[in-house]
């Protein structure tokens, strides 16, 4: 197998007392079967149902392998994952839900796919999804929208079952509901992203922590943010300036037409709705161009701390510790 590899299973837990014991037993067995050194990192995301004490017990049973982060309150799944990644020691990280919907025994499938297809991130595609109809539909709409707008050809962007290389999580901004966009953001940073079909089971116990009716609009808004961040964050002026220029042009043409009308025929234009529309259009357009400029200036100042590219490796001695050619000379 891989040399020397450590795999960290990172599991966010929010009031999962009923699922935890069975899930833990299954996860331990699955990791054991893999023959790679591994650990489990549970993140208690502000549970109030006794999950915290249960996790403490699991930790005491095997203190070095079962590590637990207890958050002060419920910070949400993205934040919980970020907390887990921060203390995880593995070069590879696999995330699973604690409710038993993901099958721990399939971690091996993710690992094999990563190896075979030389990927940096492998998602578990829930080909036959076991959830309520409303959730399956919203999820389908969301996946189709994400596929169209991002150009990343995956079936399942939302899966909680993912295997990632450490480099990927180190560059991930994980706040709000951004865990849903990890594949999109990783793809944007130049990582190789793929997926493999996995089994999806019904929730083993307890209830879903999300209301699908409120989740869908929120996720769609998040998708807008992600699109903006991946497409226009480098040049905000292209977006704002583009729309602004269009509106200004429309406003200018309208006002020019009305001016000519007034001068040539002496017709009264003061009461015409078109006049108001022209003025509004020109004003908003100019404002938007200004907003774009401000965005560009902010981006320019921030660029001093960031590089505008991401390197896979550098073939030059002494440049890159992961360089396979490095040190051979």
Which positions touch ligand UDP (CB under 6 A)? 12-14, 16, 45, 74, 76-77, 80, 97-99, 101, 160, 208-210
> Among ligand UDP, Mg ion, none, what binds residue 100 when CB lies within 5 to 8 Å by partner kind?
none
The C-alpha angle with vertex 200 and arms to 34 and 113, in degrees rounded to 5, equals 45
DSSP state of 106: G
Cα–Cα distance for residue pair 195/154, rounded to 1 Å: 7
User: Binding segment for Mg ion among 39-47, 96-104, 115-123, 261-269 (CB under 5 A)?
Assistant: 96-104
Cα–Cα distance for residue pair 8/92, rounded to 1 Å: 6
Cβ 213 to Mg ion shortest distance, Å: 16
Instruction: Kindly tell me which of 113 and 219 has the beta carbon lying closer to ligand UDP.
Output: 219
Helix (H, G, I), strand (E, B) or coil at 265: helix
Backbone angles phi, psi at 112, to 5 degrees: -65, -40
> Among Mg ion, ligand UDP, none, what binds residue 12 when CB lies within 5 to 8 Å by partner kind?
ligand UDP
Distance of CA 248 to CAs 144, 277, 286, 289, 325, Å?
34, 11, 6, 9, 55
Contact 143, 158 (CB under 8 A): yes
Residues whose CB is less than 8 angstroms from the CB of residue 264 and which lie 6 or more positions away in sequence, other chains included: none
Residues whose CB is less than 8 angstroms from the CB of residue 8 and which lie 6 or more positions away in sequence, other chains included: 38, 39, 40, 41, 84, 88, 89, 90, 92, 93, 94
> Among ligand UDP, Mg ion, none, what binds residue 98 when CB lies within 5 to 8 Å by partner kind?
ligand UDP
Cβ 53 to ligand UDP shortest distance, Å: 16
Instruction: Kindly tell me which of 101 and 230 has the beta carbon lying closer to Mg ion.
Output: 101
Residues whose CB is less than 8 angstroms from the CB of residue 122 and which lie 6 or more positions away in sequence, other chains included: 110, 113, 114, 162, 163, 164, 194, 195, 196
188 binds Mg ion (CB under 5 A): no
Instruction: Kindly tell me which of 208 and 311 has the beta carbon lying closer to ligand UDP.
Output: 208
Strand segments, DSSP code E, in 135-291 are 162-165, 193-198
99 binds Mg ion (CB under 5 A): yes
User: Binding segment for Mg ion among 26-34, 89-97, 267-275, 312-320 (CB under 5 A)?
Assistant: 89-97
Instruction: Kindly tell me which of 71 and 254 has the beta carbon lying closer to ligand UDP.
Output: 71
User: Binding segment for Mg ion among 72-80, 92-100, 265-273, 282-290 (CB under 5 A)?
Assistant: 92-100
> Among Mg ion, ligand UDP, none, what binds residue 77 when CB lies within 5 to 8 Å by partner kind?
ligand UDP
Cα–Cα distance for residue pair 222/34, rounded to 1 Å: 36
> Among ligand UDP, Mg ion, none, what binds residue 282 when CB lies within 5 to 8 Å by partner kind?
none
Instruction: Kindly tell me which of 142 and 240 has the beta carbon lying closer to ligand UDP.
Output: 142
Among 101, 138, 150, 281, binds Mg ion (CB under 5 A): 101
Cβ 98 to Mg ion shortest distance, Å: 8
Chain residues in the site for Mg ion (CB under 5 A)? 97, 99, 101
């Amino acid at each position: 197998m891989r040399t020397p590899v450590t795999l960290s299973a990172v599991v966010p837990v929010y009031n999962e007392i009923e699922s935890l014991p069975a899930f833990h037993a299954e996860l331990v067995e699955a990791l054991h079967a893999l023959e790679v050194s591994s650990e489990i990192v549970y993140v208690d995301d502000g549970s109030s149902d006794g999950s915290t004490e249960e996790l403490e017990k699991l930790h005491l049973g095997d203190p070095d392998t079962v590590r637990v982060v207890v958050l002060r309150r419920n910070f949400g799944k993205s934040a919980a994952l970020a907390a887990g990644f921060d203390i995880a020691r593995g070069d590879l990280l696999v995330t699973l839900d604690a409710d038993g919907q993901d099958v721990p025994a399939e971690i091996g499938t993710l690992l094999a796919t990563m190896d075979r297809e030389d990927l940096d991130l492998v998602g578990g595609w829930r080909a036959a999804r076991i959830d309520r109809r409303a959730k399956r539909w919203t999820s389908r709409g969301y996946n189709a929208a994400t596929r169209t707008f991002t150009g990343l050809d995956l079936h399942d962007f939302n899966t909680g079952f993912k295997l990632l290389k450490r480099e990927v999580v180190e560059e991930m901004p994980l706040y709000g509901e951004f865990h849903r966009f990890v594949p999109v953001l990783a793809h944007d940073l130049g990582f190789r992203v793929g997926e493999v079909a996995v089994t999806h089971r019904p929730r083993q116990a307890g209830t879903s922590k999300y209301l699908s009716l409120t989740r869908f609009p929120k996720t769609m808004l998040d998708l807008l943010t992600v699109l903006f961040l991946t497409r226009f964050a480098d040049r905000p002026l292209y977006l704002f300036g583009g729309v602004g220029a269009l509106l200004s042009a429309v406003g200018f043409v309208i006002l020019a037409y009305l001016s000519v009308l007034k001068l040539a025929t002496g017709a009264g234009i003061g009461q015409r709705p078109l006049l108001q529309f022209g003025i509004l259009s020109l004003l908003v357009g100019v404002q938007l161009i200004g907003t774009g400029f401000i965005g560009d200036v902010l981006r320019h100042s921030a660029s001093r701390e960031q590089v505008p590219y991401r390197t896979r490796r550098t073939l030059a001695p002494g440049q890159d510790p992961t360089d396979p050619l490095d040190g051979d000379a």
